[in-house]
Structure 1
Amino acid sequence: MQLLVCLRMLIRRCVYENITKDEIQKLFPQEVLPELQRLLTLLLQKFQREWRGDVLKDQVSLPRLKAMTWNMANQNQDSTEHAAIINLKLQGDTQSLSGETEVKFQLAKETLETMLKSMYFIRDQLSNVGDASNGHGQAQETVNT
């Protein structure tokens, strides 16, 4: 059982740290035979790069706003109420070949006002990031339409 705990710790260190062959061998318990240590060290080194690659592939990265355009339109054909049509280009989404994703949505005046209030709140929070006394480090607000 102690060997399994040790291997789990070694695999984690191989993935998240730049651990050398000598450092690996120092981490085995004394009860592990030298030949088994040598074989396990070789395996850990062999798969270290692959495991690191797998971890990087599994990491989530949020897309960044690259561009935004908008125009005005009627909400529906029979209505005189206008709405803003927002088109966002996002960079960094690995799902598309170009690395860009487009998101298009419609906002009525009331929804836009609610969204703007939230954006002003976010702006204020970003302005106060270095201020430890603001008390809102993890603030989150949901806009329901």
Structure 2
Amino acid sequence: MTCDYSVLECLLKAPSKAEVVKLCREVFTAVNRSTVQLPDTLLSHCQQTLQLTQPQARTFVQSLGSILKRAVFQGSTDPHEVVALFPDDFHKNLRDLISKIIIDNMAEWKSQAVNAHVSLPKLADFDWRVDVKTASDTVARMSVPTCILSLQVESGSEQGEATRGQQTVNVELSKETLDTMLDGLSKIRDQLSSVATR
């Protein structure tokens, strides 16, 4: 996605600063969720608010989205670094306004960008119980306690949707398997702690 800086100057036609803030938020949300098709409601809003044709509105949304995504990828809230994203001949007041909007929304947009990526399943909740078998076809398996671990797993979302799929996975663990797992988890905890304190 390339940025046509000249088309961004149509933001000067916006009726208020609040409208510019609203447009920036809507554009970031739209381009963050989809790389294929922009919402018609956003394009028509830009057309009406900024007096643009449909092709101009599409170019505007893509250009503004490009600079907003680049700013979030850079991740800096230092005003000098955000201002450096614009060319030197860009309208100064508009550059300062967009830079302020980027800095004010950085935390929220970073969160949106992270949530929009495909991710591994996450552990949402778990429960456990101890079962003792009282009937079996072999005497050796009777009265042997086992741990039933019930994991509630939240599947990753491709487009950062609010609704994520959840499923329950049940695992039966013998005492030996549970000991091995707990030992492994202790090692993982220690490694994470050592990395976090560096």
TM-score, with structure 2 as normaliser: 0.36
Q: Which has the higher contact order (CA 8 A, sep 6+)?
A: 2
TM-score, with structure 1 as normaliser: 0.46
The structure where helix makes up a greater share of residues is 2
